[in-house]
Structure 1
Amino acid sequence: MRRLRLIQAALLLALLAPLAAGAQPARAAFKETVLSDPQPGFDDPRRILLQISTSDEREINNILWNAVNLQKFYGIDNVKIAVVAFGPGMVALYKDSPVRERIESLLKYGIEFLGCGNTMETTHRSPDDLIEGVDYVQAGIAEIVERQLDGWIYIKP
């Protein structure tokens, strides 16, 4: 009986030793994303359109992380990203935005931000209320439609 317990203890130690030493269980490697033709490049970048239509700060931050991850994946010179905000999502683009610093940072990396003029008019805001560098169009939703027709890939995270 004592011998059996010693053997069990030895087996348990043998199993736990690699974990105690900092070894991690083996994980499968990420499956590589295969790029479709034409391959994105400086002269023919992927054109991706993201939508912000929520005032929820967590959701807005998620959308901004999507933009960052797309630039990271394709490379800053191989992708054009435009973020269109309308309705409640316009809060992200105003100077008093809770994500103002992130928007300003992403503008420096070439991400385009467009606000909805109709929403500004309805909520009695003006272009002067927008973060510097943010542009606006008459209708955010119409901008999305037109860019899709022009070949932009539309994502609503």
Structure 2
Amino acid sequence: MIRTVFLLLLLNVFSYADTIFAEPAPSIMEPRQIIFSINRGDDETIHHVLSSANNVLKYYGPEKVHMRIVAYYHGLRALLKKEKDIAVRIDALQQYDVEFVACENTMKTKQIKKEELIDDVEIVTAGIVEITERVKEGWIYIVP
């Protein structure tokens, strides 16, 4: 009986081990470079990406992460000022230096003007090319 309890306790301890950082460990000088995309316009998808980004920031610490979130196709909805509940979450992430990027091709297709976007959103010609180039530079692309 005591042996069984001991084994269960030991198993429980090992099942909650912390993640071991790959080298070099994230630091202010060498932050993790992470890119997310939002390409669907439904609330669940948008909030899931924003929550995932927030979780990454909480785990590493905002000073150890350089993060970009690229919105294109229907996901561009996330960067519109008129989407108040989403805009509040984006503003909070921007306070931690998360960069938000809008696809100009999508803006043209959907006839969205720069003035309709949340403040401090960067516009790039093609969102998918932005992701491709960052991955080529060694950024980690996360698709929640």
Instruction: Give yes or no for TM over 0.5.
Output: yes
Within the alignment, does 1:87 sit opposite 2:83 as a pair? no
1:140 to 2:127 alignment: yes
User: 2:20 — aligned with what?
Assistant: 34
- Mark the runs of 5 or more structure 1 residues left unpaired by the alignment: 1-25
Deviation at 1:31, TM superposition (A): 2.3
Q: Relative contact order: is structure 1 or structure 2 higher (C-alpha 8 Å, sep ≥ 6)?
A: 2
* C-alpha separation in 1, matches of 2:143 and 2:115: 27
Query: What residue in structure 1 maps to residue 82 of structure 2?
Result: 96
Structure ID, larger Rg: 1
- Point out where structure 2 has 5 or more consecutive residues left out of the alignment: 1-8
Q: How does 1:32-71 map to 2 (within 5 A)?
A: 32-71=18-57
Q: Distance in 1 between matches of 2:75 and 2:17?
A: 34
Rounded to whole Å, the distance in 1 between the matches of 2:30 and 2:73 is 32
Q: Which AA in structure 2 matches 1:85?
A: A
SS in structure 1 at match of 2:74: helix
RMSD of equivalent CA atoms? 1.4
TM-score, normalised to structure 2, is 0.87
How many percent identity over aligned positions? 38
Q: CA deviation at 1:136?
A: 1.1
Aligned to 2:95: 108
Number of aligned positions between the proteins: 132
Query: What amino acid is the match of 2:37?
Result: Q
Query: Secondary structure, in 3 states, of the residue corresponding to 2:100?
Result: strand
